[in-house]
């Protein structure tokens, strides 16, 4: 299951890349917090900007 557009949740930063940070949803899916660097292991409150159930990808912004 992936979150829907507009959902807000607290996730855990699991991987940092030059283009952003991957955040793990409490149910295991990973979304991209584009353009922001968050220390791995940090918990961050985010909102889902776009969600694609077919590819199981979603993009995030901080709240």
> Which structural domain range is residue 14 located in?
8-51
For residue 56, being part of any structural domain is answered with no
Non-local (6+) Cβ contacts of 12 within 8 A are 23, 24, 41, 42, 43, 44
For residue 2, being part of any structural domain is answered with no
For residue 25, being part of any structural domain is answered with yes
For residue 44, being part of any structural domain is answered with yes
| Structure token pair of residue 49 | 């900007």
Tell which residue, 43, 41, 47, 40, has the closest CA to residue 61.
47
Could you tell me where the beta strands, DSSP code E, fall in the chain? 8-17, 20-24, 30-34, 43-52, 57-62
pTM of the model: 0.92
What are the pLDDT digits (tens) for 37-61? 999 999 999 999 999 988 888 999 9
What are the pLDDT digits (tens) for 15-37? 999 999 999 999 989 999 999 99
Tell which residue, 63, 36, 25, has the closest CA to residue 47.
63
């Amino acid at each position: 299951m992936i979150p829907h557009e507009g959902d807000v949740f607290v996730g855990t930063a699991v991987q940092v890349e030059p283009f952003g940070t991957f955040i793990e949803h409490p149910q295991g899916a990973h979304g991209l917090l584009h353009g922001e660097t968050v220390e791995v292991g940090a918990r961050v409150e985010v909102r889902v900007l776009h969600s694609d159930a077919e590819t199981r990808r979603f993009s995030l912004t901080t709240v």
